[in-house]
Amino acid sequence: MFGNLGQAGKYLGQAARMLVGVPDYDTYVQHMQDNHPGKPVMTYKEFFRERQEARYSGSGKGGMRCC
């Protein structure tokens, strides 16, 4: 029972972070290791900057700008 509860908590936390725009670096690293072995993994700082650019740059790649 507690295993399923812990898993549900993990997913709810991840969903909440996605809703407010906080990127999940651990999930990114795991994805890269599982699906793209041998490719370089961004540092947290690079990852965060890339996610911020993707979300707020407004460069025509789906991002949005406030001004």
Helix (H), strand (E) at residue 2: helix 2-20
Which pLDDT score, from 0 to 100, does residue 39 have? 95
Count how many domains the chain has: 1
Write out the residue range of the structural domain in which residue 47 sits: 23-67
Question: In whole angstroms, what is the distance from residue 38 CA to residue 17 CA?
Answer: 28
* Residue 51, in any domain of the structure: yes
Sign of CA dihedral 52, 57, 61, 66: positive
Q: What is the pLDDT of residues 2-49, one digit of tens each?
A: 678 877 877 787 777 777 766 688 889 999 999 999 999 999 999 988
* Residue 63, in any domain of the structure: yes
* Residue 52, in any domain of the structure: yes
Residue 52, pLDDT above cutoff 90:
no
* Residue 6, in any domain of the structure: no
Which pLDDT score, from 0 to 100, does residue 36 have? 95
